[in-house]
Amino acid sequence: MSGQHPVGTHATSLRRRLLLGILLPVLGFVVLNTASLYRQALQAADTAYDRTLLASAKSIGELLEVVGEPGKPRLQSTLLYSALEPFEADNRSRMFYRVIGFQGEMVSGFADLAAPRAEGDSRERNVYAALVEFYDDSYQGEAVRMAVLMQPVAGLAGTGMATIQVAETLELRRTLAQAVLVQTIWQQAVLVLLVAAAVVWMVNRATRPVRELSQRMTARAATDLSPLPTGDAPRELQPIVEATNDMLGRIARLLDHQKRFVRDASHQLRTPLAVLKTQVQSARRGDVEPQQALAEIAITVERATELANQMLALAKVEQLRQQGDPPLVAWDEVVRNVALDVSALIADARLDFELDTVAAPVRAHEWALRELVRNLLHNAIRHTPSGGLLSLRMHASAGKVALTLSDSGPGIAPEQRLRLFQPFSTSTPDARGRGGSGLGLAICHEIVLSLGGEIRLSNREQTAAVLGLDATVVLPLET
C-alpha cells in the first residue's frame, strides 16, 4: 500500500488475504501435527520403558518358589532389593517392587506400594500379554509407572499365581519426553519458517504486477490518456487493463469533444463580434445613418446574446442531469405556455398554426422541458416559409407520450443527417435568411437523453418532394 492511495478501512489487501489464508492454516496444521508427533513419541518411549519394567518383573518372578505342604502351596521369595539394580537405567529413576502371594498375602518388597487396581478400571492396556498390566500411579507422593505381572509359579506343593508389582519413578521418561518435545518443536519451527518464507515470496511475486500497474498509472502525466500496455500483465489482470483502456479511450473522446466544442464556440462567438466591429466602424465613418447602424448593431448583439444563452443552456442541461430526481411536470402545459410565449413569432410569420395536446405528466425539470419545446418551436418557425403550416400534436400510448412538431419547411438535407445533434453542425440560413445558433438541436438532444426519451427528425415526403419536417420527441409518461 503506497501512501498516495488512501485505502478505505473496508478495502481488503489481496496480499494480506493470501498470506493469512495460506499461513494460518499451515500454522494450525503444524501445531496439531506437533502435538500428535509428541504424543506418538511419548507412547513409543512408554512402550520401550514398559518393556524394561516387564523384564524386571519377570526376573523377580523367576526368583520365586513354592513351599509348604502339598495342597497348601505358599509363595516364598528370596529376593533382594539389589536384584532390581540392573534395571535401574541410571541413577535418576528408582524402582520399587512388591510380591503378593496366592492368597493375596504380602510376600516380599515394599509393603506400602499401592495394591494392583481392580479389573475394569482405567488402566491402560499394553501390547504385552494379557497377564501384564501397566498404568500410572503414585508412590509416596511421587508419580510412578506401575507394571503388574501375574506370574504362574509351580513347585512340589502345587502351583499358584503370584502377583508381582514393579514401580518406577518417571524422571527418565520425563527427561526423554522433554528432549523429544524440544526437538519436535525445533523441527516444526524450521518447517514453518521455510513455508512462510516460500509463501511470502510467492504472494509478493504474484501480486507484484498489480502494484506495478498502479505505480505505472500514478506515475503517468495528468494529461496522458494513452492506453496502458497489455502485453506484460498476467492473464487475470488483462480484463482490468482492458477496461481501464476502454475508459481512457472514452475520456479521451469526451475531452476531444469538449475541446472541439470550446474551439467551435469561440469561433461562433467571434463571428458576431467581428460583424459588430465592422458595423461600428462603418457607422463611425458615416457610411450609414446612426439610427440604421444602431438597428443593425442591435440585431447582431441579439444574435450573440442568443448564442451565449444557448451555450449556457447546454451547460445547464448537464447540471440538471447531475441534480437528479426531477419533479413531476405537465408537459402539455409547458407546450401551451411556450407556444403562447412565441405566439408573436407565429403570427408574424403568418403560420397556419394548430395545437393538439393530451395530458402528459412527465418527470423533468420544467426549465428543461421549456427549453426543449422552445428550441423545437423556434426551429420550426424559423424554417417554415411565410404562410406555411405548423402543427404540434401530442399522442400518449403504452407509458410514453410523443410530441410531434410538423412544419412545412425544407426539411433536413441528407448531409446534415449524420451530424444533426452535434453542436454548430446545423446552422443554416432559415426561411427569412437568418442563421440559428447551431446549438438548438444539440440542446434538445441532451435534454431528451437526460430525460430518458428519444428524439427523431424526419422529412415528410410525397413522391420525392419534401413537404416538411416532422420533429418527434418521445418521453416516458409518469403514471
| Shortest distance in whole angstroms from residue 339 CB to other proteins | 5
Buried b / exposed e over 44-66, threshold 16 CB at 10 Å, is ebbeebbebbbebbebbbeebeb
- Judged by CB under 8 A, which of 15, 51, 94, 336 binds other proteins? 336
- Asked if 344 interacts with other proteins (CB under 8 A), we say yes
Cell output for 394: 401530442
- Judged by CB under 8 A, which of 189, 343, 429, 461 binds other proteins? 343
- Judged by CB under 8 A, which of 212, 232, 287, 356 binds other proteins? 356
Cell output for 21: 489464508
- Asked if 377 interacts with other proteins (CB under 8 A), we say no
- Asked if 339 interacts with other proteins (CB under 8 A), we say yes
Q: Are 157 and 68 in contact (CB under 8 A)?
A: yes
- Asked if 320 interacts with other proteins (CB under 8 A), we say yes
Residues in the chain: 479
Contacts of 76 (CB under 8 A, 6+ apart): 64, 65, 66, 67, 107
- Asked if 459 interacts with other proteins (CB under 8 A), we say no
Q: Are 307 and 269 in contact (CB under 8 A)?
A: yes
DSSP for 44-91, please give it.
HHHHHHHHHHHHHHHHHHHTEEEESSTTS-EEEE---GGGGGGG--SS
For 42, phi and psi rounded to 5 degrees?
-65, -40
| Shortest distance in whole angstroms from residue 367 CB to other proteins | 7
List the alpha helices (DSSP H) in 98-237.
171-219
Cell output for 252: 479521451
- Judged by CB under 8 A, which of 124, 246, 354, 461 binds other proteins? 354
- Asked if 323 interacts with other proteins (CB under 8 A), we say yes
Rounded distance between C-alpha atoms, residue 351 and residue 384, angstroms: 8
- Asked if 319 interacts with other proteins (CB under 8 A), we say yes
- Asked if 353 interacts with other proteins (CB under 8 A), we say yes
Q: Are 97 and 84 in contact (CB under 8 A)?
A: yes
- Asked if 166 interacts with other proteins (CB under 8 A), we say no
| Shortest distance in whole angstroms from residue 3 CB to other proteins | 38
- Candidates 70-78, 190-198, 264-272, 340-348 — which segment interacts with other proteins by CB under 8 A? 340-348
- Candidates 43-51, 142-150, 211-219, 319-327 — which segment interacts with other proteins by CB under 8 A? 319-327
- Candidates 63-71, 118-126, 355-363, 377-385 — which segment interacts with other proteins by CB under 8 A? 355-363
Give how far Cα 310 sits from Cα of 12, 313, 389, 426, Å. Answer: 48, 5, 26, 14
- Binding to other proteins by CB under 8 A, coded x per residue (else -) over 392-421, reads x-----------------------------
- Asked if 110 interacts with other proteins (CB under 8 A), we say no
Which value, to the nearest 10 degrees, does the dihedral of the CA atoms of residues 317, 320, 322, 326 take?
A: -130
- Asked if 280 interacts with other proteins (CB under 8 A), we say no
Window 286 to 315, contacts with other proteins (CB under 8 A): 301, 305, 308-309, 312, 315
- Asked if 330 interacts with other proteins (CB under 8 A), we say no
Dihedral sign from CA coordinates of 193, 195, 199, 205: positive
**468: number of CA atoms within 13 Å, CB side?**
21
- Asked if 348 interacts with other proteins (CB under 8 A), we say yes
DSSP 235: G
Q: Are 81 and 108 in contact (CB under 8 A)?
A: no
- Judged by CB under 8 A, which of 240, 340, 359, 413 binds other proteins? 340
DSSP 325: -
- Asked if 363 interacts with other proteins (CB under 8 A), we say no
- Asked if 127 interacts with other proteins (CB under 8 A), we say no
Nearer to other proteins, 243 or 345 (CB): 345
DSSP 403: E
Rounded distance between C-alpha atoms, residue 266 and residue 260, angstroms: 10
- Asked if 439 interacts with other proteins (CB under 8 A), we say no
Rounded distance between C-alpha atoms, residue 338 and residue 353, angstroms: 14
- Asked if 269 interacts with other proteins (CB under 8 A), we say no
- Asked if 32 interacts with other proteins (CB under 8 A), we say no
Nearer to other proteins, 175 or 305 (CB): 305
Nearer to other proteins, 271 or 309 (CB): 309
By CB under 8 A, name the binding residues for other proteins. Answer: 301, 305, 308-309, 312, 315-316, 319-320, 323, 336, 339-340, 343-344, 346-348, 353-357, 365, 367, 392
